[in-house]
Amino acid sequence: MAGGGAAPPPKQDDQQPHPAKDQLPNVSYCITSPPPWPEAILLGFQHYIVMLGTTVLIPTTLVPQMGGGNEEKAKVIQTLLFVAGLNTLTQTLFGTRLPAVIGGSFTFIPTTISIILAGRYSDIVDPQEKFERIMRGTQGALIVASTLQIVLGFSGLWRNITRFMSPLSAVPLVALSGFGLYEFGFPLVAKCIEIGLPQIILLLIFSQYIPHLMKGKSQVYDRFAVLFSVVIVWIYAHLLTVAGAYKNRSDKTQLSCRTDRAGIIGAAPWIRVPYPFQWGAPTFDAGEAFAMMAASFVALIEVVYCLRLLGLTRVGSRRVVQISAGFMIFFSILGKFGAVFASIPAPIVAALYCLLFAYVGSGGLGFLQFCNLNSFRVKFILAFSIFMGLSIPQYFNEYTAVRSYGPVHTKARWWNDMVNVPFSSEAFVGGLLAMFLDVTLKQKDTATRKDRGMHWWDKYRSYKTDARSEEFYSLPFNLNKFFPSEKGKE
């Protein structure tokens, strides 16, 4: 071999993998370190814009099937937004106090559609009466289903269930909570590709490329990437609408692309405060309640451990989330102003989901750093649960799309929904399989425990073992006196 001697061996540190971190690096603002007020207000408004996507999409899908028109759709959007704001504000003040927005869930859509198609509503001729009757039935089912979460939470049963989970079983659960919503991403973008695709491109430029080219000199562009990109593309879409680009296009294309076809602005009242039972007293049906409880349980599972998701704004401030809740309540009462933002074309919102749901999925993949990926047991559990978590719901959804009912089709509609709805959820199937395999295939030894990542999980099982739990003892309005403190027991 000509030339000098052999190359020096690499340093030992260069061969080591990246160390596991229980907190994301480069987070600018955490729970107790809020940004300045002007920046916090802008970030809160950005949270509100993102929240609008789900809030508008659910009524847009369901209200026409109920028999409602634009006025009913506007009222449902206002109500969802108002309740989401109250829930978020209450949760950040008195609940877990985590910087999380509490809003509507796509999980409840199949069960609600099942209620819409129920035989007891099929004979109603008047669309307005049909809408109100279905809303009252849906409210009754949701009220009963909410008791499931209340019982699981206050009784401590859910805490005992989650004790069986490990970082290994959390990977499919959280990853599929994001990646499993792919149908709300590019398929909706493609309904108006001329505005959806530019939204994706601009969002990537503002959030990824500009900060990379500026080499960290400013975090304005990535932190407000959603606001910048949405404003630009929304103006562009409005110019296309005014210029007559969609004048001779199909109704479906005009509904997706035009900025003046949502029908919400004209139908929304100037000022309206949503109130309980605004459509009448709720009605209760045992079958519908059981079916909604199944959806409620799936939604409960899907939100577990989904809070390591700050990759886009790098802001985890509680103040920002509380400000966004304020925007939700404010614009839900001032209907006309809220309707302006709610009329953003759906492909623009879907383009945001392409990035945001990807970040949710990456939060699940982040748990892999605590697992031993050189273990065949770990590899099998991950591969099988993720594959089946995608495959089984695909079968259920394809079957339903072709035959208009699920694989489980008996005379008991409530039983059909209780089976078909959970197994149509990627996160539910993947998470359930991963937890079952992880628990039943484990051995009681230290090596297997470390392979599962339980050595990292231990400190989150008690307030005593995580120093950040001190935040719990600083509840507002002296509420901590109602909670038994473990601090003095140490």
Q: What is the pLDDT of residues 172-185, one digit of tens each?
A: 998 998 898 898 89
Give a three-class secondary structure readout of 60-92: HHHHHHHCCCHHHHHHHHHHHHHHHHHHHHHHH
How would residue 213 be classed by pLDDT, with cut points 50, 70 and 90?
confident
> Do 396 and 423 contact (CB within 8 A), yes or no?
yes
What's the token pair of residue 168?
């290994």
Torsion of CA 368, 374, 377, 382, to 10 degrees: 30
Name the residue with higher pLDDT: 244 or 18: 244
**Residue 211 reports pLDDT greater than 90:** no
How would residue 462 be classed by pLDDT, with cut points 50, 70 and 90?
low
Distances (CA, A) of 486 to 33, 178, 470, 483: 25, 35, 10, 9
How would residue 302 be classed by pLDDT, with cut points 50, 70 and 90?
low
Q: What are phi and psi of 166, to 5 degrees?
A: -135, 170
Task: Report the pLDDT averaged over residues 124-152.
Answer: 91
d(CA 227, CA 203): 9
Helix (H) or strand (E) holding 264: helix 264-267
Task: Report the pLDDT averaged over residues 442-447.
Answer: 82
d(CA 194, CA 106): 26
Q: Which residues fall within 8 angstroms of residue 186, CB to CB, at 6 or more apart? A: 196, 350, 354
**Residue 102 reports pLDDT greater than 90:** no
What percentage of residues in the chain have a pLDDT greater than 90?
42
d(CA 434, CA 285): 34
Distances (CA, A) of 462 to 156, 159, 235: 13, 11, 50
- For the stretch 281-298, pLDDT in tens is 999 988 889 889 888 888
Q: Which residues fall within 8 angstroms of residue 337, CB to CB, at 6 or more apart? A: 331
**Residue 485 reports pLDDT greater than 50:** no
Helix axes 346-365 and 225-242, enclosed angle (nearest 10): 160
d(CA 465, CA 488): 14
**What is the overall mean pLDDT for the chain?**
84
pTM of the model: 0.85
pLDDT for 349 = 92
**Residue 5 reports pLDDT greater than 80:** no
Q: Which residues fall within 8 angstroms of residue 443, CB to CB, at 6 or more apart? A: none
How distant is the alpha carbon of residue 446 from its chain centre? 35
**Residue 101 reports pLDDT greater than 80:** yes
**Residue 4 reports pLDDT greater than 70:** no
Least confident among 26-30, 55-59, 99-103, 254-258: 26-30
pLDDT for 51 = 85
- For the stretch 184-199, pLDDT in tens is 899 999 999 999 999 9
Nearest alpha-carbon partner for 117 in 168, 69, 62, 155: 62
What's the token pair of residue 263?
């029908």
pLDDT for 483 = 42
Rg (CA), the chain: 24
Task: Report the pLDDT averaged over residues 66-80.
Answer: 92
Using DSSP's 3-state secondary structure scheme, residue 315 falls into strand
Using DSSP's 3-state secondary structure scheme, residue 377 falls into helix
Q: In the chain, count of helices (H) and strands (E)?
A: 23, 0
**Residue 114 reports pLDDT greater than 80:** yes
Task: Give me the helices (H) in 334-487, please.
Answer: 335-342, 346-365, 376-403, 413-420, 426-440, 446-452, 454-457
Give a three-class secondary structure readout of 147-177: HHHHHHHHCCHHHHHHCCCCHHHHHHHHHHH
